[in-house]
Structure 1
Amino acid sequence: MARLDNASVVVTGAASGLGRAVVDRFTAEGASVVAFDRSQEKLDTLKAEIGESVVTVVGDVTRYEDNLRACEAAVDRRGKLDTFIGNAGLWDFNRSLAESDPQSLASGFDELFAVNVKGYLLGAKAALPALTASRGSIVFTLSNASFYPRGGCPLYVASKHAGVGLVRQLAYELAPDVRVNAVAPGGMATDLRGPGAMGLADTSIEDALPIRDVIRTFSALQLDIRPEDYVGSYVLLAAREESATATGTVIDISSVGTPGRSAAP
């Protein structure tokens, strides 16, 4: 028996990078997944490659109505929703306070926080009735930048610290009916983009820096880390039998820097 047999799950930011790795692993573990993303093209590719285990929903995580459509699609398909995984995010590409002009700093803040924080909040709100009925769970993607500097610059690091607060508060508010946890990966090579307001919408982390070399050089385990290396903790938190007592928890699975080295971005 697979660990997520018959589980009904929504994953945001599902069509590439870590989100796609989560979808791949969850469907392999027996889950029915609603893949929610803003890219129709990437969702079409995902659907073609995975098949009937996935339903796709195109939308914007910063809109409550789009989050609700994704959650309703899960309930329509399986009669329930067991886990909502908030994963869509933006990075600030290490734009420091000093090098950011006031206008792009302000507009970049609004755009990045809308996805990284408001998107999670609205997703949780949309999922809440179904998760309450199933006594399900929420899992957010955070980052080692939730705990340490240098995983980005002010916008990204602040948004991920805010995510920790969101996990703790929602875990308090939604207990005992809904568990709320998060996974904090470190760096990886993905198609992660930045705010369009800062001219970063068409730049991926893979394009901007040699991220795989950086991770190998500056992380403690010196691994060539790929998105699929991080997904086991998501399965753990979604599997009721394995994490029934976990709420308000952030699992830090980043390979942080060794003494005398910088933490991986």
Structure 2
Amino acid sequence: MGKLKGKVAVITGGSSGIGLATAARFVAEGAHVFITGRRQAELDKAVAVIGSNVTAVQGDIARLEDLDRLYETVKREKGGLDIIVASAGYVEVLPTESVTPEHFDTTFDINARGTFFTVQKALPLLRDGGSIVLVSSGMHIKGFPAYGVYAATKAAIRSFTRTWAAEFKDRGIRVNTLSPGLIETPIIDGQFSSKEEADGARAMFKQITPLGRIGRADEMAAAALFLASDESSYSTGIDLVADGGITQL
């Protein structure tokens, strides 16, 4: 414990799933964490779960005014920050012929545009030597039917990582990607129209994953901690793929 002692972190999408697990782990390691999410009730529950050293700021990363309010809060309460984990995301499973302009725009607004401005607007507060972790997905590595738009946004995030690792290196800021596989979080049920469809996806991914199971949010939190902490001090621009081997074997 104590790998992030005295650090200040912002975690978008911190009210559930990977973001919540990461926030809890960071606090356990000594950080003060600012979490964001669109629904206040879920944020309140997350704060109760984490228990201390956490500040919740309701907002949508697709809304630039919400990001401004987030960083105004960070500046007022802590003066600066050391770590960004861009975990907020949106996924809806649609085959190409069913994609609407609205679906396309919503997915890109949250996953690509929202991630970009999450980082851009943090830069004046991000201390030299800081760490940025962008949560992508194994979907950007291997093609899966009906995930075309989502996968494209996650490929954009991987590209941001390479660009920013080069762009911010003179400030000692490391930028890395975390690409999970299918993780047991509420987003699984949320992307399908019925529980039966969601359970079918779980069964399919278990079958094709070399480790034979769905990943856990706490496993992704451990990976995010590695990338955010000095444990990965010689790593920048990498894509840490944590997917049970599905895209690698």
Report the TM-score, using the length of structure 2 for normalisation. 0.90
Cα distance change, pair 170–152 in 1 and its aligned pair in 2 (3 A):
farther
- Contact kept in structure 2, 1:11 and 1:86, CA below 8 Å: yes
Which residue among 158, 169, 180 is the counterpart of 1:185?
180
Q: Deviations over 1:146-184 (max 9, x none)?
A: 211117521011111111111111222222212211100
Does residue 42 in structure 1 map to residue 42 in structure 2? Answer: yes
For 1:151 and 1:61, how far apart are their aligned partners in 2? 27
Does residue 137 in structure 1 map to residue 131 in structure 2? Answer: yes
CA root-mean-square deviation: 2.2
Give the number of aligned pairs: 245
Which residue among 100, 107, 115 is the counterpart of 1:105?
100
Match of 1:80 in 2: 80
Which region of structure 1 is more displaced relative to structure 2, 63-72 or 170-179?
A: 63-72
For 2:36 and 2:116, how far apart are their aligned partners in 1? 15
Match of 1:96 in 2: 95
Does residue 60 in structure 1 map to residue 60 in structure 2? Answer: yes
For 1:238 and 1:77, how far apart are their aligned partners in 2? 21
- Contact kept in structure 1, 2:60 and 2:66, CA below 8 Å: yes
Cα distance change, pair 246–258 in 1 and its aligned pair in 2 (3 A):
closer
Q: Deviations over 1:79-122 (max 9, x none)?
A: 320011111111131x1113x1xxx5211110000001001111
- Contact kept in structure 2, 1:12 and 1:87, CA below 8 Å: yes
Q: What amino acid is the match of 1:96?
A: P
Which residue among 237, 240, 246 is the counterpart of 1:251?
240
Q: What amino acid is the match of 2:110?
A: V
Which residue among 198, 213, 216 is the counterpart of 1:209?
198
- Contact kept in structure 2, 1:151 and 1:157, CA below 8 Å: no
SS of the residue 2:77 aligns to:
helix
Match of 1:26 in 2: 26
Q: Deviations over 1:230-252 (max 9, x none)?
A: 2212101111x222222211111
Which region of structure 1 is more displaced relative to structure 2, 63-72 or 227-236?
A: 63-72
- Contact kept in structure 2, 1:68 and 1:123, CA below 8 Å: no
SS of the residue 2:57 aligns to:
strand
Q: Report the Cα offset of residue 191 of structure 1.
A: 1.9
Does residue 230 in structure 1 map to residue 220 in structure 2? Answer: yes
Q: Report the Cα offset of residue 74 of structure 1.
A: 2.8
SS of the residue 2:190 aligns to:
coil
Gap regions ≥5 residues in structure 1: 194-201
For 2:13 and 2:247, how far apart are their aligned partners in 1? 31
Match of 2:165 in 1: 171
Q: Deviations over 1:181-231 (max 9, x none)?
A: 1100000222227xxxxxxxx934584411443333220011342211222
For 1:92 and 1:32, how far apart are their aligned partners in 2? 32
For 1:258 and 1:47, how far apart are their aligned partners in 2? 34
For 1:16 and 1:258, how far apart are their aligned partners in 2? 25
Does residue 128 in structure 1 map to residue 123 in structure 2? Answer: yes
Q: Report the Cα offset of residue 253 of structure 1.
A: 1.2
For 1:171 and 1:31, how far apart are their aligned partners in 2? 23
For 1:244 and 1:229, how far apart are their aligned partners in 2? 20
For 1:187 and 1:29, how far apart are their aligned partners in 2? 26
Which region of structure 1 is more displaced relative to structure 2, 25-34 or 75-84?
A: 75-84
Cα distance change, pair 56–151 in 1 and its aligned pair in 2 (3 A):
farther
